[in-house]
Structure 1
Amino acid sequence: MSALRFFGISAIGLLITMAAVDQFSLLYREISRSCSFYIEALAIVGAWYTVRKCVSLAFDTYSALRLHVIPKLSGEIDLVKKYGKWAVVTGSTDGIGKAYAEELAKHGVNIILVSRNKEKLEAVSRSISETYQVETDFIVADFSKGRELYPAIKEALKDKEIGILVNNVGIFYAYTDYFTNLSEETLWDLIHVNIASATMMTHIVLPGMVKKKKGAIVNLSSAVCCQPTPMLTVYGASKSYLDYFSRALHYEYASKGIFVQSLMPFVTTTKMVAFSSTVSKRSIFFPTAEEYASHAVSTLGLSIRTTGYWKHAIQLTLGWLAISIANSSRELTVPSEMEYRTQLPHPE
């Protein structure tokens, strides 16, 4: 009797087990059938994301080639025909300003140099004229003096056909410091030289460009304009002004034949960064003013907002990538894509 009872219990257990297995198999099939839709949906989303990234990469690659490579291979553009006979370059006795003026002279553009040191102006003017066989002129102007010097500049330029204006003049901090430690004189110099000069020079030259329906204005901003720069607060803010001013002005006057460009270079080996023994030395990362100007001029008419140099463009991209990686590791704060694109590492 006990044996029959044992086999009976075993048979019942086997039936229960088989039923459980059958239920699990059924449950698994139902779950698989339900999940297949989500898996397919995720596969579609993944494919769409991959396609978007590939298209974006292809577009960015083409844009980089179009801006930094093709102009160098396709030959020189006739800047005189495209914009006009004369170019005005401020802050043109040293650094990027001087190199940019020389690069324009290579293209046959006559140059008007504007700076505060008469002896340097005479020397650079004579050198450019003799080297590149173009006409040159110069205007002595200390932009830190404020509004009093602009009537004389306007009078000196009234009979010139200005095709290109390069607002390059600018001053930097003697060393990084807190805003409250800066003297009032330093603050006014930064405002007058970095902000007011570009504004007023543009106001003087632009009406003539509009009248002949062609012209180009280049404003030397900086990569620091793309993020807040503690300890360089006013300098960074002044460069942000130039960047905004350039873009807004281009939208206002593009339909009238005027091209306005914001140049945002990273570090170049000029006197402005002489305070640092590291960045003032020429290296693969820090081009000379001449190297930078050669590439920057080739972007004229192609991009309204650019670093101006392919090495600097790579630094910009790496900066975005570094910020993206840094922010992705934070659990509580995930910046938007726009925030990624404006929080660049400090280039100077």
Structure 2
Amino acid sequence: MMGGADTLLRQEPWFVSLAVLGALYTAAVVLRLLSHLALLLRRPRDLRRRYGAWAVVTGPTSGIGQSMALELARLGLNLVLVGRDPAKLQDISETISKTRSVQTKTVVFDLALVATPRGDEAVRRLREAVEGLDVGVLVNNAGVAKPCALYLHEVDVEAWVRMMRVNLCALTEVTAAVLPGMVQRGRGAVVNIGSGSSEAIPSFPLYTIYAASKRYVAQFSRSLYVEYRSKGIDVQCQVSPRTEENQPTLRRSDASTYYPRKKNPTKKIAPS
């Protein structure tokens, strides 16, 4: 062993430097592989034990929100389902009750009515619904996007006001309604559904207001985590890529200015 070290020391300085760098790189790769292996072998976290027995999910009747609700139920959490359509809320509640041994509660709340008398009443009902419950997880999933690509001056004022109310104001108000219980119990998790339109790409033309609203969600999540981590509350922003539910519709002739169409590779091999 000592002979090998002596041999290494007798080499040229550049050779010794390369050998040391190689050893450090190899060690870093091994450590990274071991960390990934540890994650694979680690048992799934018990969310009930870590955070609490109940979860609140907004927009749980379709898409990401529905998937989150079903998964949380599979993990054994009881659910408070918040949405604007009573019939759809009842459907998802019955589906969960038939397949999982968990409790469900529903709160009818059109989040676009936040900061109005009807919205204030809905917030009151939400606070009453979670009062006394061990709510450990909040999933702020509900969001609004324009149905098609538009320049800012083409957007109907009512449409973008609705978007801002749901994507910003409602998310903030629902969080404020659920946080006091988490603070009191000293544990909890807030999961906000963001968008790749604000994080993964430098700009999102023709969807400017939507992308800006989702940027708020990302920064809100970062700052909220710093505020509440000392109180035992985790906060994260899940940045989702395009899904069938939220995929942009570029039905306008000038959209290719910002989103050029991909060339058809089959043209290169098509017979003449």
TM range (shorter): 0.7 to 0.9
Match of 2:230 in 1: 255
Distance 1:232 1:274, change over 3 A: closer
In structure 2, distance between residues paired with 1:74 and 1:244: 30
Match of 2:190 in 1: 217
In structure 2, distance between residues paired with 1:188 and 1:170: 13
In structure 2, distance between residues paired with 1:182 and 1:176: 9
CA contact (8 A) 1:113 1:139 kept: yes
Match of 1:237 among 202, 208, 212: 212
| Counterpart mapping for 1:100-179 below 5 A | 100-147=68-115, 148=119, 149-179=122-152
CA contact (8 A) 1:86 1:164 kept: yes
Match of 1:195 in 2: 168
Match of 2:64 in 1: 96
In structure 2, distance between residues paired with 1:55 and 1:175: 51
In structure 2, distance between residues paired with 1:62 and 1:171: 42
Which 5+ residue runs of structure 2 have no aligned equivalent?
1-12, 252-272
| Counterpart mapping for 1:74-93 below 5 A | 74-93=42-61
**Which structure has the greater CA radius of gyration?**
1
CA contact (8 A) 2:54 2:77 kept: yes
CA contact (8 A) 2:58 2:142 kept: yes
Superposition deviation, residue 267 in structure 1:
2.0
In structure 1, distance between residues paired with 2:210 and 2:105: 30
Which 5+ residue runs of structure 1 have no aligned equivalent?
1-39, 278-348
In structure 1, distance between residues paired with 2:79 and 2:143: 19
Q: TM-score, normalised by structure 1?
A: 0.60
In structure 1, distance between residues paired with 2:250 and 2:150: 15
CA contact (8 A) 2:60 2:69 kept: yes
In structure 2, distance between residues paired with 1:215 and 1:89: 14
Superposition deviation, residue 223 in structure 1:
1.5
Q: Which runs of 4+ in 1 moved over 4 A?
A: 46-63, 274-277
Secondary structure in structure 2 of the residue aligned to 1:114: strand
CA contact (8 A) 1:171 1:272 kept: no
In structure 1, distance between residues paired with 2:163 and 2:174: 16
Distance 1:57 1:223, change over 3 A: farther
Superposition deviation, residue 81 in structure 1:
0.9
Q: Percent identity?
A: 35
Match of 1:186 among 159, 165, 173: 159
Normalized per residue, the structure richer in helix is 1
Superposition deviation, residue 159 in structure 1:
2.6
Provide the aligned C-alpha RMSD in A.
2.8
Distance 1:62 1:268, change over 3 A: farther
Aligned length: 231
Greater mean deviation of Cα atoms: 199-208 or 75-84: 75-84
